[in-house]
Structure 1
């Protein structure tokens, strides 16, 4: 179990009353959850990515509010409706995945729930056709736009106004490295093993507006940080605030953006459960005026790298002290920390069982490497990912 140091930093006085935990009448109200998932489209025969998003989305147009284009024509995205329970969230994810998979098959494609194409792209990068913003992004950031052909999972927790989301962000961000380790699913990139369990986390760090969010002293500080990104040219607009965690620019939520896309539905639900429980725990601590444990930004950045490198199977860093610990111990410490919030939401049994399965059977990155080890053939990795993706 992690024991934070004794030194503390001051915390916001923001009250959670009325922002997700309690209604105006004082009754407890659950925080909501929603998930965005990004998929690659691959040719059903060759398993290589194909720029077919426009056709697939047109076929799936019966659900226009939940299926979307992404930054390139190789990708499609689903966005669940707001859910009060993890059970409902899982059902929505399964329906949307089935719908999208059917539309993809109608065009000779398969969905790939993977952060990267695994093998190198052939030919020029196909950005979204009718999007001047994408063209300007490519002009300004050059080869960084190659990393747009990567897929993540974003978890939204609400309902939170921006003041509350900023205060909660400070208390959630120490656990971002552990969430990255749990989600690690991108060891292969450009046709080779990168030596990292989440190369997506590392590749995405190249964007000047990405990485761990700052510690915010106030909502004004948060807004000022965003304006600095815009004024410096590091971001075209607020959509390019690529921090691992941020108050959403479109919804009254706190958005966890650090996660690799992975095929397993129960892992997706686990990530949402842990995210919501972290927010609920932070809201409780703010209401009870529990001081924030001190956190050094340099340690957090190192912990993020170690999580991306080792994943769940290796070691990580205690976010407060920098001490090296088994990544599995850090994951179990996170579960212990948020267990009361998980239990209150009815999620504890599922979260504990799913985490236990990951620790027993291996992370997504470990399973990809096991598939490759059988014949040292990347097509085996792709087939493995397709099989897991289609297991609705």
Structure 2
């Protein structure tokens, strides 16, 4: 498994600053070839906006190794930001008002022209988990089975309550902004790789999106690696929560692959319920009821998270991750997660959102 994290670049006043290209140019790449700037631990890449920077880990089998790379990536991103007088914040949206600056690449500029305000306001940061699969057949079998549980991963990650200087009323407003893209959200069951590829080709053929990379399903087959890419989560305030997401995503993929190998039928994926479950998870995170994937009825968030852990328990145990997941979940419950902490900091600071960003920067590197 591997984790990609997107971060905000912020200035001393807490506002996003358009310095990603400058930061990457000034940082020193590691030796050897790479698809990313600075090969190896915490490789750095650009995102859609100049106010963002992305890190990517190596594929890792051991959870401790993944956790170490996530922290190293955050440190490497901050080292690059230091050279341009900026800071790295694990915030899925900017608490303070911003005007996004699209990176000057042809594809990004085409997207900005074609998608208008949807693109211009797309200063959002997510956490993507890649989990290896044997081939596309196994990958599609996994996608057809993990959909009901993805909203729970969003609930665990929520970290974007503020938008353009206001409390959005959501725990993950990033999920609302991201939902504006035409191909975002849950997908139906496909059954075979051919059906999956036909669906992707069909979306491209509509002429609505630029290319296959703009198929933004909550989980998809990666176009770069032999992995299932789980894309639903906010970037997590702390590295421990990103590590937790990695473990749970791998547990979901492994559990689904085993079910498929055993000949168990995939569930009936009702996209209207999947979308509603994700909307509800984005609204309240862990602070209110979630929709249970077992009943599609509201249940306390603690119970629904427990159902997820029970669902993947065997895979977690076999990977040696069960104790770590239990500890990481306990720590997350004790703090309430990123959105809850941001709102608490906001209240403590008397409504000063600059203090929220300042404390988020500190938590990013804790």
TM-score, scaled relative to structure 1: 0.88
Q: How does 1:202-217 map to 2 (within 5 A)?
A: 202-217=176-191
The aligned counterpart of 1:58 is 25
1:358 — aligned with what?
A: 332
Instruction: Count residues in correspondence.
Output: 355
The one-character-per-residue Cα deviations of 1:337-379 (angstroms, maximum 9, x if unpaired) are 1111111111111101111221222011111111111212211
How far apart are 1:60 and its partner, in Å? 2.1
Counterpart among 227, 233, 239 of residue 259 in structure 1: 233
Query: How many Å apart are 1:114 and its aligned residue?
Result: 0.7
Are the equivalent residues in 1 in contact too, given 2:255–2:315 (CA < 8 A)?
yes
Q: Which runs of 4+ in 1 moved over 4 A?
A: none
1:37 aligned partner: 5
Aligned to 1:385: 360
Number of the residue aligned with 1:167? 141
C-alpha deviations, 1:243-269, integer Å up to 9, x for none?
A: 110000110000000010023111111
Provide the aligned C-alpha RMSD in A: 1.3
1:101 and 2:78 aligned: yes
- Kept in 1: contact 2:71–2:365 (CA 8 A): no
State the Cα distance separating 1:320 from its structure 2 match. 4.6
**In the TM superposition, what is the alpha-carbon distance from 1:319 to its structure 2 partner?**
2.7
1:75-154 to structure 2, matched below 5 A, reads 75-122=52-99, 125-129=100-104, 131-154=105-128
Distance 2:294 2:206 in 1: 31
CA distance in 1, matches of 2:83, 2:258: 48
Query: 1:236 deviation in Å?
Result: 0.6
Q: Residues 89-134 of structure 1: CA distance to partner in whole angstroms, max 9, x if unpaired?
A: 1111222221221221121110011111111114xx31112x1111
Corresponding residue SS for 2:16: coil
CA distance in 1, matches of 2:69, 2:26: 19
3-state SS of the aligned residue for 2:210?
Answer: coil
Runs of at least 5 residues in structure 1 that lack an aligned partner in the other structure: 1-32
Distance in 2, matches of 1:280 and 1:217, equals 17
Shift of the alpha carbon at 1:135?
A: 1.3
Q: 2 CA distance for matches of 1:160 and 1:153?
A: 23
Residue by residue over 1:311-330, the C-alpha shift from the partner in whole angstroms, topping out at 9 and shown as x without a partner, is 01111112353211111211
1:322 corresponds in structure 2 to 296
Query: Is the 8 Å Cα contact of residues 295 and 319 (structure 1) preserved in structure 2?
Result: no
Native 8 Å contact 2:238 2:365 kept in 1: no
CA deviation vs aligned residue, 1:175-203 (integer Å, no higher than 9, x gap): 01101100111110111111111111111
Q: How does 1:299-338 map to 2 (within 5 A)?
A: 299-338=273-312
Distance 2:135 2:164 in 1: 41
Q: Distance in 2 between matches of 1:147 and 1:241?
A: 19
Question: In structure 1, how many angstroms separate the alpha carbons of the residues matched to 2:145 and 2:189?
Answer: 9
Is contact 2:126–2:231 with CA below 8 Å preserved after alignment?
yes
Distance 2:106 2:114 in 1: 12
SS in 2 for 1:292: coil
Runs of 5+ unmatched residues, structure 2: 31-36
Match of 1:28 in 2: none
